[in-house]
Amino acid sequence: TVSTQSTWGRRSETSRDKRNMEVRQQQCREAFDLFANKNGCLPINAIPTVLRALDLNPTEEDVKKFIASLQVDPNKGVDFQTFQSNAAMVMIRGFDKKDAVIDAFRVFDKDNTGEISVLELKHIMTTMGEKLTEIEFSALTAMCGDSIKYEEFAELLLKPYPQLGSAEDLE
């Protein structure tokens, strides 16, 4: 029974992943087509808008790196196949957000120790920006002591949520 549940969990995860991939490919095609020129190419200056339409939220530096990775003539634009293959890699890996998160925490590190207090973090995360509830904050910092090493914490924050396949995966 255990192996059946576990196999079923993996099968459903694979099916879910495939559906998600198909939806993302369709979204990529739709966003590309909205801005493509008559030749079926995406003008280079439309790339930031299309990436944002795909909820990738790149920085200006991310956009510059993405465009450079395309290796296309800037005057001709980029065809769908080239854009999609590069965008797919970004969708999988994402843009490098770790440094941005670390820099945000560093602002609150008055002593430049690489750590911030849990109390200060609580104040920040429950009163600024996209606020966490007390319960969400407690769950996020349950294994922390009085202070948090924010470089390690940034890695934890940026990890993808685990895919759950079966009840055994939770144990």
| 162, pLDDT greater than 70 | no
Q: Which pairs with CB-CB distance under 8 Å and at least 24 residues apart come from 8-14? A: 8/165, 8/166, 9/164, 9/165, 9/166, 9/169, 10/165, 12/165, 13/163, 13/165
Q: What residues contact 11, with CB distance under 8 A and at least 6 apart? A: none
**Average pLDDT, stretch 10-38?**
78
**Average pLDDT, stretch 2-25?**
58
DSSP 161: P
Confidence at residue 29, expressed as pLDDT on a 0 to 100 scale: 93
CA dist 139 and 146 (Å) reads: 15
Report residue 135 as tokens: 């319960």
CA dist 164 and 110 (Å) reads: 39
What's the mean pLDDT when you consider all of the chain? 78
- pLDDT category, 171, cuts 50, 70, 90? very low
Residues 150 and 102: beta-carbon distance below 8 Å: yes
Give percent above pLDDT 70 in the chain. Answer: 78
Q: Please write the tens of the pLDDT for every residue from 43-81.
A: 999 999 998 888 887 878 888 888 988 888 888 999 999
